[in-house]
Amino acid sequence: MKHKLKMLAGMAVVTIASSLPANAETVSMFCSATDYELCEKAVAKWSEKTGNEVKLNRMPQNLDDAIPIYQQLFAAQSSDIDVLYIDVIWLGMFKDHLLDVTSMIPEDEVKAHFASATDAARLDGKLLAMPFYIDTGLMFYRKDLLEKYGKEPPKTWDEMTATAKEIQDAERKAGNPDMWGYAWQGRSYEGLTCDALEWIASAGGGTIISDNGEVTINSPVTEAALTRARGWIGTISPEGVLNYDEENSRTLFESGNAVFHRNWPYVWGTSQAEGGKLVGKVGVSALPLGAEGQKSSGTLGTAYLGVSKYSEKQELATDLLRYMVGFEDQKMRAIEGGYNPTVAALYEDADVLAKIPFLGMAKTAFEESVARPSAATGKNYNRISRTFYRAVHDIISGKDDVAKELADLERRLQRDVRAGE
């Protein structure tokens, strides 16, 4: 039975249409808040091409808050939304509600994307979504300040810590009391899982839960990584970082008051947009290492689009999806927003390279990125991640002994894993 859901809690809905022919149809789609304007632009183009109309639903700023909305829609088998924005970690969680588009998308269109990105969306032999853009944690830094103080982009987290402190202190002395060393995401939410995984994985400490479902968190490597991060609070990062998500930390960096900033590739687009304070002053590198011999481990955050199984307009919805993830739209998004494409050919496109000069490095960072344990934990991922980021938040907030917290976290995660079996 399909219901119409009366209320999409607190979400702004906008309808985009060109002059519509009499037989025009309307499809409805979710767009993330961060790239909403780019989404609007793309949809207007598709609308113009096809003569159909799109109802856009702006997702909550914090993607975690979209999960209960999706759950509610799926539980009601609602046909209100046709095209869904899917965070990579939701693929397993929502797989039963996504349409298998295998036979609806020509193979060459699928093959145009990085195989690793499309492969991650193949579950139980079905292609459940198409990749939209790649997110990998990257380090943005003030090129001008590093040059001023004769520093190189740091290779290790320890080096980053020292350089951040040195430049922060020198800049404060030189008359900028608001300067900080490092802006990142310390709020108790999914973003903290991403940041913390990077500190741990880049030190060889694993991925919270291993591929075979074992909890790997309680180790001296993790203890050292989290102790280091705890030491940043109030020294190179403001206390407020404990409540920062991507946008808060970006605001600090783009106000000119942070030397280093961990975020996703879109910050290149915002920080280099015309009129910005930091135009020409920002460098980008892979994230530092936690230990020699390890690899830089930006968390992988590919975004996907999928079609709802409950959509009453599956063909039209798939057509919109194909346009949104296709070459033309991904090129526009790369050029105008700094979003890293999943269409491989765009990594050799001169227009894109002119706008994102570090795209080659970003591709390597993507290849070396670390995945959250969502494939191994499936529908249980959300619970596991929440247990993890809450404990990490307690640790970096300075509560309790790190080793004791980790032992407790291990037990809680083991219980979560069992609950999901």
The residues binding ligand GLC (CB under 6 A) are 63, 87-89, 135, 190-191, 194, 246, 264, 301, 303
Taking the least distance from each CB to ligand GLC, the nearer of 179 and 334 is: 334
Taking the least distance from each CB to ligand GLC, the nearer of 99 and 197 is: 197
Taking the least distance from each CB to ligand GLC, the nearer of 135 and 319 is: 135
Whether 388 and 196 have beta carbons less than 8 Å apart is answered as yes
β-pairing, 130-133 vs 53-58, is unpaired
Burial of 321 per CB tally in 10 Å (0-12, 13-18, 19+) = buried
Q: Considering the complex, what minimum distance in angstroms separates the CB of residue 196 from ligand GLC?
A: 12
Q: Considering the complex, what minimum distance in angstroms separates the CB of residue 374 from ligand GLC?
A: 9
R_g (Cα) of the chain, nearest Å:
22
End-to-end CA distance of the chain: 29
Taking the least distance from each CB to ligand GLC, the nearer of 64 and 158 is: 64
Place of tokens 């856009």: 56
Structure tokens at 190: 């999914």
For residues 40 and 178, give the distance between their C-alpha atoms in angstroms, rounded to a whole number: 36
Burial of 40 per CB tally in 10 Å (0-12, 13-18, 19+) = middle
Taking the least distance from each CB to ligand GLC, the nearer of 80 and 245 is: 245
Burial of 82 per CB tally in 10 Å (0-12, 13-18, 19+) = buried
Q: Considering the complex, what minimum distance in angstroms separates the CB of residue 247 from ligand GLC?
A: 10
* Eight-class DSSP state of 326: S
Q: Considering the complex, what minimum distance in angstroms separates the CB of residue 36 from ligand GLC?
A: 13
Q: Considering the complex, what minimum distance in angstroms separates the CB of residue 55 from ligand GLC?
A: 23
Taking the least distance from each CB to ligand GLC, the nearer of 80 and 246 is: 246
Q: Considering the complex, what minimum distance in angstroms separates the CB of residue 99 from ligand GLC?
A: 21
Q: Considering the complex, what minimum distance in angstroms separates the CB of residue 193 from ligand GLC?
A: 8
Taking the least distance from each CB to ligand GLC, the nearer of 167 and 209 is: 209
Taking the least distance from each CB to ligand GLC, the nearer of 35 and 319 is: 35
Comparing every residue's Cβ against ligand GLC, the nearest one is: 301
For residues 403 and 311, give the distance between their C-alpha atoms in angstroms, rounded to a whole number: 49
Q: Considering the complex, what minimum distance in angstroms separates the CB of residue 190 from ligand GLC?
A: 4
